[in-house]
Amino acid sequence: MKDKDLYYVDLFSGSGGLTLGFEEAGFKNVFSIDSESSFCDTYEKNFPSHKLIRGNVESLSKGDILELVRGKNVDVVVGGPPCQGFSIAGNIGRRFLEDPRNHLFKEFVRYVKIIKPKYFVMENVARLYTHNRGSTRDEILNTFISIGYENVECKILNSADYGVPQTRKRVIFIGSRDGKNILFPTPSYTEYRTVKDAIGDLPVINSGEDSKVPNHIAMNHSVAMLDKMRHVKDGGNRNDIPAEIRPQTGDARKYIRYNSSKPSVTVTGDMRKVFHYDNNRALTVRELARIQTYPDSFVFLGTSSSQQQQVGNSVPPLMAEAIAKQIKLQLVGRNK
């Protein structure tokens, strides 16, 4: 008996980290949507057969969404609503849903309510789990329950547990429409992959140099910056820099050097002041993409800063694939 096709919709798709994970697990894309132009350029370059909507999620009416679905039984809606409204600095006791910055979360809920997928997967920053002493987490869970998802659970996952050479903790919400038990992927790596494992075979380049590998172009650092970084040892930090030229900053994520024998620190949209473990430069977009587990065949478009944001904002594809495979097992079991 031929396996049933499994379909997903990708909201806030960005450059396509979740997309790639679900594709590798065998799901088929119905449509994706994102509003950032350069992110969309990258998405279309790498997923030319997908239906990508360039625009804000608010711009699609219920009729528009149903027309895009075109009668398909969508198995999963996935996405990571932008997390600016999830700041830990908010007043304790203020309801999450009352914060206007969180309107994009409400849009995610709106799409799920309209599409009625068998499952949804929502990803966000780990601090959301404990925000407002856990009341934000409860609000989110109860919101999905109120639209018909009988079983909704959330868990903090570390990408390093799934073969990603990076310590990246994210909260994952998974909901099932028929109350089916929620199963998260079991960690498959006890010995973590390191930064050197991920990028050690790429061509050696110095500050300002290019290579023949797509997106492997080194940032052109100033003489002053190069002078600072040459003092920082493998795995070291700003304290390695002589006091007379040491930057006066309290940000522990700046002026550090990757530890070649450990997973990377969390990749964000700006890694300019985190240095290669061996070369005096920041990592290239290709190296950051390797750490996020994008294949070298995946090409990023746009300015250098936009490319870094695209990589940093992504769900690591290998972690997304682990989640997708677990949901696929539950869906296949449902159809037997």
Query: Which residues are marked as active site?
Result: 83
Say whether 313 sits in a helix, a strand or coil: coil
Q: Is residue 119 a contact partner of residue 176, using CB atoms and an 8 Å limit?
A: yes
Distance CA 139, CA 86 (A): 13
CB-neighbour burial class of residue 223 (10 A; exposed 0-12, middle 13-18, buried 19+): exposed
End-to-end CA distance of the chain: 10
Structure tokens at 200: 């050690």
Q: What does residue 232 show for φ and ψ, rounded to 5 degrees?
A: -85, 120
Distance CA 58, CA 65 (A): 11
Distance CA 277, CA 262 (A): 11
Neighbours of 65 (CB within 10 A): 18
Alpha carbon 35 to chain centroid distance? 16
Residue-by-residue DSSP string for 214-252: TT-------HHHHHHHTTPPTT--GGGS-TTT------T
Structure tokens at 121: 């997967």
